[in-house]
């Protein structure tokens, strides 16, 4: 069965977001320091999809998946973090301390 035009457009959009997120992550990691330092409410809402995904990837790496630290750095709630992770298809599990 041939995919619908809407499905194809969504797939292309997500590929574009993924590509831009990789570029941002590789080239603009200092932005994370600025975002984390600002730590204002709704910081993530002001960023494009690509930047949001890149910032999430940087936060996950920097804080080793510690959801509390990520939320604190980005100024978002745990529910907002879970929503963002799910939206961008990122792992929603936290690092477990043994």
Q: What is the pLDDT of residues 17-57, one digit of tens each?
A: 777 777 666 666 666 666 666 655 566 776 788 888 888 98
Tokens of 33: 């320091």
Q: Which residue has the higher pLDDT, 21 or 69?
A: 69
Q: How far apart are CA 91 and CA 38, in angstroms?
A: 25
Q: How far apart are CA 93 and CA 17, in angstroms?
A: 22
Confirm whether 49 is domain-assigned.
Answer: yes
Average confidence score pLDDT of the chain: 76
Residue 12 has pLDDT above 80, yes or no: no
Confirm whether 68 is domain-assigned.
Answer: yes
- Does residue 24 contact residue 31 with C-beta atoms inside 8 Å? yes
Q: How many domains is the chain built from?
A: 1
Cβ neighbours for 92, distance < 8 A, ≥ 6 positions apart: 82, 85, 86
pLDDT bin (cut points 50, 70, 90) of residue 96 is very low
Q: pLDDT value at position 43?
A: 65
Q: How far apart are CA 60 and CA 93, in angstroms?
A: 10
Range of the domain at 31: 5-87
Confirm whether 17 is domain-assigned.
Answer: yes
Q: pLDDT value at position 26?
A: 65
Residue 94 has pLDDT above 50, yes or no: yes
Exposed / middle / buried, residue 29 (Cβ in 10 Å: 0-12, 13-18, 19+): middle
Confirm whether 37 is domain-assigned.
Answer: yes
Confirm whether 42 is domain-assigned.
Answer: yes
Confirm whether 93 is domain-assigned.
Answer: no
């Amino acid at each position: 069965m041939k995919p619908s035009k809407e499905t194809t457009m969504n797939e292309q959009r997500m590929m574009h977001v993924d590509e831009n997120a990789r570029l941002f992550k590789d080239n603009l990691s200092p932005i994370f320091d600025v975002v984390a330092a600002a730590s204002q409410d709704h910081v993530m809402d002001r960023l494009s999809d690509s930047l949001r995904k890149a910032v999430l990837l940087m936060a996950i790496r920097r804080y080793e998946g510690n959801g509390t630290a990520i939320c604190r750095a980005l100024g978002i709630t745990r529910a907002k973090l879970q929503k963002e992770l799910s939206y961008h298809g990122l792992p929603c599990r936290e690092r477990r301390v043994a």
